[in-house]
Amino acid sequence: MSRVGKQPVQLPKGVKASVAGNALTIEGGKGKLSITLRPEVKVEVKDDQIHVSRNNDSKFARAMHGTVRALASNMIQGVTKGFQKNLDIIGVGWQGKMQGRKLVLQLGYCHTVDFDLPEGINCVIPNPQRLEITGIDKQAVGEFAARVRAARKPEPYKGKGVRYDGERIIRKAGKSFVGGK
């Protein structure tokens, strides 16, 4: 039995969960999320809890057992609290700004790097070198943050680039001059 999958997920007050066919839908104060369930797992909602079980004991069914339970838990957290990723822009003159629903970054290229915000994702820029990406879908928030970071990954010599808040970049020593004659 999956250690994660056999634990029921508690539904907090104000959160509704329903299973219709092969879809699990969770609705809360911040919005509504839905996932399509695999035929290897079965989800039941009873007594303000979500119970996940598997139909057979195959390796894939065992893997999906814990995965579906974790997805349901993340969906509940998303519709109650939401998710947030913070990014720092490190570099002289590098900055970000919002233009409507478009994120515009100046990252040392001769052009700007533009990102259209996906549906359900919000971006706040408290200062030009800091981005706060929020949303109710954990996967969408993480994917958008990764796309923004990939625009200019941190480099190991000066540490310039877009990095996650708290990310530690291992620095390399630059070239050293060895005396010549």
Q: Confidence class of residue 164 from pLDDT cuts 50, 70 and 90?
A: very high
Give me the pLDDT at residue 3, please.
79
Task: Say if CB 129 and CB 89 are below 8 A apart.
Answer: yes
pLDDT digit string (tens) for 113-155? 999 999 999 999 999 999 999 999 999 999 999 999 999 999 9
CA–chain centroid gap for 89, Å, is 18
Listing DSSP states for 4-33 in one string gives TTTSPEEPPTT-EEEEETTEEEEE-SS-EE
pLDDT at 1: 54
CA 118, CA 141: separation in Å to the nearest integer?
Answer: 9
pLDDT 10s digits, 36-93: 999 999 999 998 999 999 999 999 999 999 999 999 999 999 999 999 999 999 999 9
